[in-house]
């Protein structure tokens, strides 16, 4: 599943693998309109992974309602699951978040998250994610 190591695949590969919207977000660093993404108001139990390579990124237990219009998380599933990069586009200085495995653009991180947690808000494009629902079987969590 995790075969990329920092996005070393060709543009041709990504155009074949991803949908048009996924390519725009993950490879061209696009942003979906607020309140339009599949997961902005989604709170089922499970794991959110990179839509490009499948690397696990965020647990549903770290998701919160931020009101910003994009899925928001206070921490990644593992600190090494995402990488931070300086983003100076659109006349702003922000911290971009990319998948550490394939280099796909996920969104940005801000310091206005829940203060009782990490204080961070990982603001992530729904299109850059895929969700794996967890269901209880015999009092244990397992994938569907």
Which residues are part of a known binding site for Zn(2+)? 50, 53, 99, 102
3-state per-residue secondary structure call for the chain: CCCCCCCCCCHHHHHHHCCHHHHHHHHCCCCCCCCCCCCCCCCCCEEEEECCCCCEEEEHHHEECCCCCCCEECCCCCHHHEEEEEECHHHCCEEEEEECCCCCEEEEEECCCCCCCCCCEEEECHHHEEEEEEEEECCEEEEC
123 is catalytic: yes
Active-site entry in 62, 82, 120, 123: 123
Residue list, annotated binding site? 50, 53, 99, 102
Q: List, by residue number, the catalytic residues.
A: 123
């Amino acid at each position: 599943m995790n075969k990329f190591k920092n996005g070393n695949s060709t543009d041709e590969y990504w155009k074949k693998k991803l949908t048009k919207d996924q390519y725009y977000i993950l490879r061209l660093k696009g942003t979906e309109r607020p309140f339009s993404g599949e997961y902005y108001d989604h709170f089922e139990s499970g794991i959110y992974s990179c839509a490009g390579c499948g690397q696990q990124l965020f647990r549903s237990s770290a998701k919160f309602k931020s009101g910003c219009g994009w899925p928001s998380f206070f921490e990644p599933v593992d600190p090494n699951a995402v990488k931070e990069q300086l983003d100076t586009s659109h006349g702003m200085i922000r911290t971009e978040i990319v998948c550490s495995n394939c280099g796909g653009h996920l969104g940005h991180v801000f310091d206005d998250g829940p203060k009782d947690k990490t204080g961070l808000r990982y603001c992530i494009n729904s299109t850059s994610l895929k969700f794996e629902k967890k269901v209880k079987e015999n009092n244990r969590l397992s994938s569907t």
